[in-house]
Amino acid sequence: MFIICDNCNTKYKVDESIFKKPSLTVKCSRCKHVFTAYKTQPQDVVPYILENNHSDADKPIAHVCKIICVCNQKGGVAKTSTCLNLASSLAAQQKQVLLIDFDVQANLSLLLGCKNEKSFFEAMDADGGDLTKAIIKTKHDIWLLPSNSRMALASKKYINKQNFEYLLREKLERIKKVFDYILIDTPPSGDFYTLNALLASDLAVIPTQCDYLSMNGVSHIVNMISVIRNKTRHKLDYRGLATLYDPNNTVEKVVYEKLKTQLNGKMFNTVINRDSSLQESHIARMPVISYDKNSIAGQQYHDLTTELLRI
């Protein structure tokens, strides 16, 4: 397995047997930085936290876990980027954050350096529905329930079962006392995965580009949320988020104003500009805030987090 220095990013190949506990304090031989390294597959870490750090007795009474899904039926609108960067910014503020990759494409898992790890599907299938068996800690102080291509089977297996749309919500009940925020990345569709994510969430963040077709995608998801709110007692709030925004493009400015009207003001004031630093951060497999915290996108995701914390 590999461990990476969170100061200079030097990567070390180490034997897993050096971990006698789920984490280990190590010193980077290059920059001398002392940091905590985590076992790549610490399948017992979450139960460890559940049992030792967060027993019901010492759980703060006011502890509330906010579950947020990031969704839009349109692809390429920065859903995955928004999930990763919000999570990283919340973790930097000492929040315990779990990311759930609920997209078969597994882009979020890939960005966090996880390839072909156990997903929701395997946890449901082989581990009796215990999601903690699949959750891993990533190097950015964010917990992750990864995805992989087998996630496609989850929809086939459960779609005809009674109450299939509440599957994720039910499984998060036990876990949510450990986390302050759970963020769910969804695929560009309104099917099994997005429905489960919406029904498990308190808030839906809808990233959108400011063009005509994206406005259409936003109406679809807002309609879906309205149906959920009308047909169930689920109090699901939502906010639109303008992404890949070009402030010098007049059409985008006009569409942004139209979106604000369309969503009755339920848009974040923060917009995320199109910024090459974000694409570079993907290549480096880092949140943009860690890659370059002074970049425009890095600062905007920081502002977005501040706005989110006020909701």
Q: Which residues contact 14 (CB under 8 A, 6 or more apart)?
A: 1, 2, 3, 37
Residue 226 Cβ, how far from ligand ADP at the closest point, in Å?
22
Half-sphere exposure of 134 (CA within 13 A, CB side): 30
Smallest separation (angstroms) from ligand ADP to the CB of 96: 23
What is the nearest approach in angstroms of Mg ion to the Cβ of residue 78?
Answer: 8
Cα 141 from Cα 310, distance rounded (Å): 22
Give the per-residue contact string, 197-236, with ligand ADP (x = CB under 6 A; - = no). Answer: ----------------------------------------
Burial class of residue 62 in the structure, from the number of CB atoms within 10 Å of its CB (0-12 exposed, 13-18 middle, 19+ buried): exposed
Is residue 302 close enough to count as binding ligand ADP by CB under 6 A?
no
The minimum distance between CB 44 and ligand ADP, in angstroms, equals: 31
Residue 114, CB half-sphere, CA atoms under 13 Å: how many? Answer: 31
Q: Which residue's CB is nearer to Mg ion, number 61 or number 283?
A: 283
* Comparison of 79 and 169: residue with beta carbon closer to ligand ADP: 79
- Is 186 among the residues that bind ligand ADP (CB under 6 A)? no
| Binding span for ligand ADP by CB under 6 A among 47-55, 93-101, 259-267, 268-276 | 268-276
Contact 239, 71 (CB under 8 A): no
Q: Is 284 in the site for ligand ADP (CB under 6 A)?
A: no
Is 219 in a helix, a strand, or coil?
Answer: helix
Nearest distance in Å: CB 140, Mg ion: 18
Q: Binding to Mg ion by residue 79, rule CB under 5 A?
A: yes
Q: Is 275 in the site for ligand ADP (CB under 6 A)?
A: yes
Give the nearest distance from C-beta 128 to ligand ADP in angstroms. 31
Give the shortest CB-109-to-ligand ADP separation in angstroms: 12
Site residues for ligand ADP, 84-143, by CB under 6 A, read 107
Q: Is 2 left (phi over 0), alpha (psi -120 to 50) or beta?
A: beta
Binding map of Mg ion across residues 99-128, x = CB under 5 A, - = no contact: --------x---------------------
Q: Establish if 184 lies at the interface with ligand ADP (CB under 6 A).
A: no
Lay out the sheet containing 66-70: strands in order across. 136-137, 143-145, 97-101, 181-185, 66-70, 203-208, 237-242
Show contacts with ligand ADP in window 55-94 (CB under 6 A): 75-81
Question: Under a CB-based contact definition with an 8 Å cutoff, are residues 135 and 40 in contact?
Answer: no
Asked if 278 and 295 touch (Cβ cutoff 8 Å), the reply is yes
Q: Are strands 66-70 and 136-137 parallel, antiparallel or unpaired?
A: unpaired
Q: Are strands 136-137 and 181-185 parallel, antiparallel or unpaired?
A: unpaired
For ligand ADP, the binding residues (CB under 6 A) are: 75-81, 107, 243-244, 272, 274-275, 278-279, 282, 297
